[in-house]
Amino acid sequence: MTDAIGFVHRTVLLQEAVEALAIKSDGVYVDGTFGRGGHSRLILSKLGPAGRLIAFDKDPQAIAEAATLQDARFTIVHNGFTHLAQELTRLGVTAVDGVLLDLGISSPQIDDGARGFSFRFDAPLDMRMDTTRGMTAADWLATAPEQDIYRVIKEYGEERFAKQIARKIVAVRAERPITTTRQLAEIVAGCVRSREPGQDPATRSFQAIRIHVNQELEELSLVLPQAMQLLRAGGRMSVISFHSLEDRIVKRFMKDAANEDDMPSRLPIRAADLKKPPLKVIGKPIRPSEDEVKANPRARSAILRIAERTEGPL
């Protein structure tokens, strides 16, 4: 698919993520990250006339793309998926049959230099997924304490040279504002003494600052319990992660929600009497095929996890 600005977008794990939802023709589904609509369009193709799809996105360009999707069964919400329960209540929806979350950043966001996500372009240092609200990366770097900058780059970017980068950012901003992607990339490059072959020195720092500016990990932690609570028994949760920290949150949440009561094994209690957990993990994690990675190298880090709502209490 080519978006309105001309960038090609390939939806990662398209068939696998939608098939994981086990779609019922009259079901109600949520696409928590519309993006350029690849998953949403496939979901709609599997729904009957009574089915319904509600999609969320923070990105105004994604909202513009969704406006071209003329389908009475489809509703787009310009908001982040952390507002899932609130927005569904507003729309009169109390339960759903499936929730799909495709996390991270989309190719059009990366490839549009003006968005400030990529060190490949010289552009304003923005990095917001929702350009209509919130603090830009430049704003944050201008005011954040050195320790906070270090923590973000170290934890979210897993960057070995985070301390040196944070110190240099604070030194440079005392002389001049850091307002462009090129400025930041050059600062980072001057601090990173070694890097994996083929990886730009700025990769980890840009990723870390983007995750922080958009509160991506915090929002993921907030949406997963909401999705579980909204799912009907038998409903599915299908989540694609692209970063080890994201996947860790998803894996831990699903595992914890699928654990039965932790009772001593020798107690005379029948399995039928144990409290049933609210989720059941479905299958093993799914990764893109070699063919998909060859066609779309950005898919290489993707991992899909699937869970199903049981009749167990929350």
Q: What secondary structure does DSSP assign to 17-68, as a single string?
A: HHHTT---TT-EEEES--TTSHHHHHHHHH--TT-EEEEEES-HHHHHHHTT
Q: Which two tokens stand for residue 171?
A: 């030194």
**What is the b/e burial string over 220-229, where b = at least 16 CB atoms within 10 angstroms of the residue's CB?**
bebbbebbbe
Residues in binding site? 37-39, 57, 81, 102, 109
Element counts in the chain: helices (H) and strands (E) = 13, 7
Question: What pLDDT was estimated at residue 4?
Answer: 38
**Cα Rg, the chain, nearest whole Å:** 21
C-beta separation of 76 from 68 below 8 A:
no
| Residue-by-residue pLDDT tens, the chain, 314 positions | 434 333 445 789 999 999 999 999 999 999 999 998 999 999 999 999 999 999 999 989 899 999 999 999 999 999 999 999 999 999 999 999 999 999 976 555 555 555 555 666 689 999 998 888 899 999 999 999 999 999 999 999 999 999 999 999 999 999 999 999 999 999 999 999 877 766 789 989 999 999 999 999 999 999 999 999 999 999 999 999 999 999 999 999 999 999 976 545 555 565 565 689 999 999 999 999 999 999 988 889 999 999 999 999 99
Per-position DSSP letters for 186-246, written without gaps between them: HHHHTT-----TT--TTHHHHHHHHHHHTTHHHHHHHHHHHHHHHEEEEEEEEEEE-SHHH
Identity of the residue numbered 284: K
C-beta separation of 187 from 177 below 8 A:
no
Domains with residue ranges and CATH for the chain: 14-107+216-309 (3.40.50.150), 130-213 (1.10.150.170)
Residues in binding site for S-adenosyl-L-methionine? 37-39, 57, 81, 102, 109
Q: 132: which DSSP letter?
A: T
Question: What pLDDT was estimated at residue 261?
Answer: 60
Question: What pLDDT was estimated at residue 275?
Answer: 81
CA distance 17 to 101: 9
Question: What pLDDT was estimated at residue 132?
Answer: 87
Question: What pLDDT was estimated at residue 6?
Answer: 39
C-beta separation of 236 from 100 below 8 A:
no
CA distance 84 to 115: 25
Pairing of strands 231-241, 74-78: unpaired
Identity of the residue numbered 127: M
CA distance 102 to 242: 9
Single pTM value for the model: 0.87
Q: Is 280 helix (H, G, I), strand (E, B) or coil?
A: strand
